[in-house]
Amino acid sequence: MASDRGLGWPEESVPRLLESARDESRLRVSGLGWPTGKAKEMGRALARRAASRNKGTAAAGGAGEDPVRDGRGADQPPVPAPASPAEEEAVRRVRRAVTAAVSRETAPADLAATAHDSQQADGNPATPLGEAPGQALAASAGAAEREQPWPRPQTCRVITIANQKGGVGKTTTAVNLAAGLAMHGARVLVVDLDPQGNASTALDVDHRSGTPSVYNVLVDDLPLERIARPVAEVSQLSCVPATIDLAGAEIELVPLVAREARLQRAFSTYDLARHDYVFIDCPPSLGLLTINALVAASEVLIPIQCEYYALEGLEQLLRTVDLVQAHLNRELAISTILLTMYDARTRLASQVADEVRGHFGEVVLGPVIPRSVRVSEAPSYGQSVMTYDPASSGALAYLAAARELAYRSEPARQPS
């Protein structure tokens, strides 16, 4: 037991462990390492490029990026500065990669047949490329519709969705991948591990304070099956809700035995075979709740927002995953990275995507999630965007991402 070996969290031994985690050789061997300082460097480089662009654009006073989104005021909307040849080449590389990924299994005829212009609905180009809006993703999703259900994994895949940054799309990703997979034959459970209970809200599962929730699973050893609730909108999808009570759990868990492994323990007395996928939605921190999620899972999915400073803090997350892998959960691996909130109008987004793909390679899912108004509206209706507006660019992108995730299940169980 990890805590018996003095490897608990958080304890004095942690700084030592963090130190040892600086040796990322294990990660590098598997292609997942992040040279120390690299993320910060990349973040600063991107910020510098953005700042110099903004200087140029303030003078030019042109239009191009979204001033509201960028929080820079609507009076001086910036335009992208001319790109250097290297930047242009980087953008072309990402475009090729994304095009290949989106159209990998899409016949040209599908593109023409299923074009759906969601530009109007979202006010944003539907593809991350800003080219042929909607067509590639609509076609990809169209193809997906015709071949349902998708293959299911041999055994349940427990996937933790983690990134200690808030607002990068963890919850949105958990909810929409889960819904997309469930709509194509998979049996899916979402475990809401964030005291804010956003995943519970989006799936319209009761999570008022005092409702039996994941808090009782972690702190009171209540069995998971007593907590899991079916999601009304999507059959085969269930949710273990989180209530605000969970906010105290970071502290309440500290004196408990095996505090890092409470969720894993709950899974061990739960019949995971009743699901094909379990997604654990983490809070925006690397505290005990996230550690519990990492200990209970075999895969980590990291959503990365295609935005300023997106890469800062990633190093710390990778180190934490490495630590947990080394000392608490040998099975854990970063299996998936998903690029979120991609705004095709900004060159920065493609630069972030390029850097991430360059570094993480195949771990990064081909489909990229565009910034889409429909995605952000859906939770207020107690829905995933998959049911709220299935034809929107965000829904199509999440569908394409879910499909790739399903086809990456190895070995996969073919649909019966």
Q: Which partner in ligand ADP, Mg ion, none is near 159 (CB below 5 to 8 A by kind)?
A: none
Q: Which partner in ligand ADP, Mg ion, none is near 400 (CB below 5 to 8 A by kind)?
A: none
377-401 burial code (b ≥16 CB/10 A, e <16): bbbeebbbbbbbbbebbbbbbbbbb
* 198 lies in the binding site for Mg ion (CB under 5 A): yes
336-370 burial code (b ≥16 CB/10 A, e <16): bbbbbbbbbbbbbbbbbbbbbbebbeebbbbbbbb
The piece of 24-32, 93-101, 257-265, 367-375 that touches ligand ADP (CB under 6 A) is: 367-375
Rounded to 10 degrees, the C-alpha dihedral 380/382/383/384 comes to 70
Q: Which partner in ligand ADP, Mg ion, none is near 180 (CB below 5 to 8 A by kind)?
A: none
Q: How far apart are CA 200 and CA 204, in angstroms?
A: 6
What's the distance, CA 115 to chain centroid?
Answer: 26
The piece of 107-115, 190-198, 360-368, 392-400 that touches Mg ion (CB under 5 A) is: 190-198
Neighbours of 79 (CB within 10 A): 17
In whole angstroms, the minimum distance from the beta carbon of 78 to Mg ion comes to 29
Q: Which partner in Mg ion, ligand ADP, none is near 103 (CB below 5 to 8 A by kind)?
A: none
Residue 147 tokens read as: 């071949």
Q: Which partner in ligand ADP, Mg ion, none is near 172 (CB below 5 to 8 A by kind)?
A: ligand ADP
In whole angstroms, the minimum distance from the beta carbon of 388 to Mg ion comes to 18
Residue 171 tokens read as: 């919850």
* 207 lies in the binding site for ligand ADP (CB under 6 A): no
What's the distance, CA 404 to chain centroid?
Answer: 14
Taking CB under 6 A as the criterion, which residues in 59-88 touch ligand ADP?
A: none
Q: How far apart are CA 138 and CA 108, in angstroms?
A: 12
In whole angstroms, the minimum distance from the beta carbon of 353 to Mg ion comes to 22
Taking CB under 6 A as the criterion, which residues in 387-406 touch ligand ADP?
A: 394
Residue 316: which of 11, 3, 14 has the closest Cα? 14
Q: 193 or 249: whose CB is closer to ligand ADP?
A: 193
- Site for Mg ion (CB under 5 A): how many residues? 4
* 340 lies in the binding site for ligand ADP (CB under 6 A): yes
In whole angstroms, the minimum distance from the beta carbon of 174 to ligand ADP comes to 8
The piece of 90-98, 133-141, 161-169, 407-415 that touches ligand ADP (CB under 6 A) is: 161-169
Q: Which partner in Mg ion, ligand ADP, none is near 368 (CB below 5 to 8 A by kind)?
A: none
Among 369, 395, 396, 406, indicate the residue that binds ligand ADP (CB under 6 A): 369
* Residues 229-268, mask of contacts with ligand ADP (x by CB under 6 A): ----------------------------------------
Residue 288 tokens read as: 């005990």
Taking CB under 5 A as the criterion, which residues in 142-181 touch Mg ion?
A: 170-171
Q: Phi and psi dihedrals of 296, rounded to 5?
A: -85, -15
User: For 79, left (φ over 0), alpha (ψ -120 to 50), or beta?
Assistant: beta
Among 341, 352, 353, 405, indicate the residue that binds ligand ADP (CB under 6 A): 341
* 172 lies in the binding site for ligand ADP (CB under 6 A): yes
Residues whose CB falls within 8 Å of the CB of residue 196, separated by 6 or more in sequence, listed in order: 242, 244, 283
What's the distance, CA 15 to chain centroid?
Answer: 28
Pairing relationship of beta strands 333-340 and 229-230 according to DSSP bridges? unpaired
- Site for ligand ADP (CB under 6 A): how many residues? 18
In whole angstroms, the minimum distance from the beta carbon of 171 to Mg ion comes to 3
* 372 lies in the binding site for ligand ADP (CB under 6 A): yes
Q: Which partner in ligand ADP, Mg ion, none is near 168 (CB below 5 to 8 A by kind)?
A: ligand ADP
184-215 burial code (b ≥16 CB/10 A, e <16): bbbbbbbbbbbbbbbbbbbbbbebeeebbbbb
Q: How far apart are CA 142 and CA 77, in angstroms?
A: 36
Q: Which residues contact Mg ion (rule: CB under 5 A)? A: 170-171, 194, 198
Q: Which residues contact ligand ADP (rule: CB under 6 A)? A: 166-172, 198, 284, 340-341, 369, 371-372, 375-376, 379, 394
